[in-house]
Structure 1
Amino acid sequence: MITRRHALTRLASAASVLALGATFAAPAFAEGLKIGFSQVTLQSPFYVQLKDGAEAAAAAGGDTLIFLDANGDVSKQNDDIQDLITQGVNAIIINPVNPDAVVPSLEAAAAAGIPVLTVDRSVNGGGVKAHIGRDNKAMGQLVGEAVVARLAADGITGAKIIEIQGDAGGAVMMDRRDGFHAAIEGSGHTIVEGPYAEYIRANAVTAMQDLLQAHTDVKVVYAHNDDMALGAAQVLSENGRTDVLISGVDGLSEALESMAAGGNYVATALNDPKYLGDVTIQVAREVAAGKEVPAFVDAGSKAVTPDNVADFPRTGLFAEYRPDVLAK
């Protein structure tokens, strides 16, 4: 994603309140909070950027962020959370490997009187003060609506849309699928559900090679993230299929660059991970201060099309989008 224009300072945090459907008194933060962060993995650029945003926000506010990488291992994540409890952190942020497997750790944190938040991925059951993330179903629907509008503008009816999916059974995959399908429903276009490419570009390249042979009449490709969409775009370009429209999710700067250059990339939805990390630290300060916060704090998203692509800074890996979700 992007270079962070700013991280809110402790002074700004103390002077601001969360205004997300509820009004809060200005929090009186303790000095030098110790915040734990158990991350699902650092194998994804998105999660590296999420870490960077959280670290910058913590440092700007004078807090210590203890960051632990579970590397996709449920057992290690539970051990990491227990380690954070033992260190006596003021709050714990979890991006869970599995939404059920961390429940015992949540109970242990509650027993120790440590509030827990989740970021990006939620957990099943209670014990969490707030979830900070984005509405993946809404993002899928935004992209679907942009695709339908583009097809209408181009006078294309009854289009075949190939969908390259994320991970089988994943909550993000299901939401991005369901939102997109809701937008396409009733449009007269047809969706062909392609394979699960695990959000990996190389996997999408292989999948698209087979899909293109099986569906030569394809008009649109929708992938559950921009990395896979760009992999599909590579295959289409190599085969001279510049007539096929491309769409994805996450707001990768590379996708926006392709869009700005006048190619056939027509839609994505912004998912700035650095800002997500920033917002998560701000909410962690609220809960550590004993304040009530919304159960879901939406860091915000927006559809990007060729019409508005120039509006979003894209100097980093992901395009920057920082709506004022932490308002006075």
Structure 2
Amino acid sequence: MSKNTRRMAVLVAAGLALTACGTTHENAPGASSGTAPAPKACKGPSGKFTIGMSQANLAEPYRVRMDDDIRKAAAGVPQFTVHYSDAAQDNSKQVEQVNTFLTQKIDLLIISPNEATPLTGVVKQAYDQGIPVLILDRKVDGDAYTSFIGADNVDIGRQAGQFFAEKLLPQGGKVVELKGLAGSTPAKERSDGFDKGIAGKNVSVIATADADWLRDKGQQQAEALLKAHPDAQAIFSENDPMAEGARLAAQNAGKADLPIVGIDGLPVPEGGIKAVEAGRLSATFVYPTGGAEAVAAAKKLLIDCQPVAKTQTLGTRLVTKDNAAAVYAEFNRG
């Protein structure tokens, strides 16, 4: 065999190995340096795999539920061992935790980034090492990852805006808005979507405040907003914990009946669906955690040796007083 023939055989074999592993790097042209990194070999059903789950924080009930959903799904895959980390809303800490996972030679990374830009580099580093990367809920910059799993936040925001314009304030009105952590992609996307939903409807956002997705900060910021804008007729909160804080602020301001809408719709006793059923929130939108879907994608990549979609968009639904009990029962059936 000539030198050129041997070189061609090596390249063909490498290409076959990449296809067999089933990662979706080929769906991300130019994701890192224009060349998809060679992934680790897919070991199939006989393999044992270590997965690192990097969580932005565990102060939000939604993120606790996400980790719980991953644990529950992973328990059904005996080949998987999952290690968890909590960045506590600290970008530097999350970068350090992901680097620790890489040092530990994990087979796959699941991450819900605290903020997009600060986590982009370490996510790309993992991807460039051939480690499949599944991003949940919050995005990073660029496309140096294997798959993003999450709902369409722009669409959820748009639906929320339409609900305000059509149901809560059909004659028009003034809204104050509680935003999530500024550098996290859902905060911008939900706000952008809300603006689209109220466009041309005589509904206006007269003030906004960042409350970092947290209930206590939501209450503090809502108190300040309502004091500065006593003419506000409703509150749009980008998640349910901030909305619950806003309800306390409204009560303290003598506006116990002020319409408040959130997002998350967790099907747990302390979650948004029950808050709507109890009348504390006017509505919420179900925002799936993607935990079960992430484990399914990991199984497909590492065990089944199949590719996964670059983007997996999860569904949502509006929850109001009329359907809250039924939605809650549906999620908790069986």
Q: Pairwise mapping of residues 131-210 of structure 1 onto structure 2 (< 5 A)?
A: 131-151=148-168, 156-210=170-224
Q: In 2 relative to 1, CA 78–211 (structure 1 residues): closer, same or farther, beyond 3 Å?
A: closer
Distance 1:206 1:110 in 2: 40
Q: In 2 relative to 1, CA 54–208 (structure 1 residues): closer, same or farther, beyond 3 Å?
A: same
Q: Which amino acid counterpart does residue 202 of structure 2 have in structure 1?
A: G
Structure 2 unaligned runs (5+)? 1-42
Match of 1:299 in 2: 314
Q: Which amino acid counterpart does residue 190 of structure 1 have in structure 2?
A: S
Structure 1 unaligned runs (5+)? 1-26, 323-328
Match of 2:114 in 1: 97
Distance 2:127 2:147 in 1: 14
Q: Which amino acid counterpart does residue 122 of structure 2 have in structure 1?
A: S
Match of 2:13 in 1: none
Q: Which amino acid counterpart does residue 53 of structure 1 have in structure 2?
A: D
User: 3-state DSSP class of the match of 1:133?
Assistant: strand
Identity of aligned residues (%): 30
Name the TM-score, length of structure 1 as normaliser.
0.78
Distance 1:114 1:258 in 2: 40
Find 1:220's aligned residue among 226, 234, 242: 234
**1:85 and 2:102 aligned:** yes
Name the TM-score, length of structure 2 as normaliser.
0.76
Q: Which amino acid counterpart does residue 175 of structure 1 have in structure 2?
A: E
Find 1:57's aligned residue among 53, 73, 92: 73
Q: Which amino acid counterpart does residue 218 of structure 1 have in structure 2?
A: A
**Structure having the higher Rg:** 2
User: 3-state DSSP class of the match of 1:67?
Assistant: strand
Q: Which moved more, 1:46-55 or 1:205-214?
A: 205-214
Q: Which one has the bigger helix percentage?
A: 2
* TM superposition shift of 1:243: 4.2
Q: Are 1:147 and 1:266, in contact at CA under 8 Å, matched by a contact in 2?
A: no
Distance 1:222 1:177 in 2: 9
* TM superposition shift of 1:110: 3.9
More relative contact order, 1 or 2 (CA 8 Å, 6+ apart): 1
Q: In 2 relative to 1, CA 232–100 (structure 1 residues): closer, same or farther, beyond 3 Å?
A: closer
* TM superposition shift of 1:301: 1.3
Q: Are 1:145 and 1:183, in contact at CA under 8 Å, matched by a contact in 2?
A: yes
Q: Are 2:124 and 2:145, in contact at CA under 8 Å, matched by a contact in 1?
A: no
**1:278 and 2:292 aligned:** yes
Q: 1:170-208 CA deviation, whole Å, 9 max, x = no partner?
A: 321111111111111111122112221222222222222
Q: Are 2:127 and 2:146, in contact at CA under 8 Å, matched by a contact in 1?
A: no
Distance 1:141 1:321 in 2: 27
How many residue pairs match? The answer is 286
Find 2:273's aligned residue among 253, 256, 260: 256
Distance 1:222 1:145 in 2: 12
Q: Are 1:157 and 1:188, in contact at CA under 8 Å, matched by a contact in 2?
A: yes
Distance 1:308 1:284 in 2: 34
Q: Are 2:56 and 2:112, in contact at CA under 8 Å, matched by a contact in 1?
A: yes
Q: Are 1:82 and 1:105, in contact at CA under 8 Å, matched by a contact in 2?
A: yes
* TM superposition shift of 1:225: 1.1
Distance 2:100 2:218 in 1: 38
Q: Which amino acid counterpart does residue 227 of structure 1 have in structure 2?
A: P
User: 3-state DSSP class of the match of 1:49?
Assistant: helix
Q: Which amino acid counterpart does residue 238 of structure 1 have in structure 2?
A: N
Distance 1:259 1:77 in 2: 34
* TM superposition shift of 1:247: 0.8
Q: Which amino acid counterpart does residue 183 of structure 1 have in structure 2?
A: G
* Structural RMSD (CA): 2.6
Match of 1:23 in 2: none
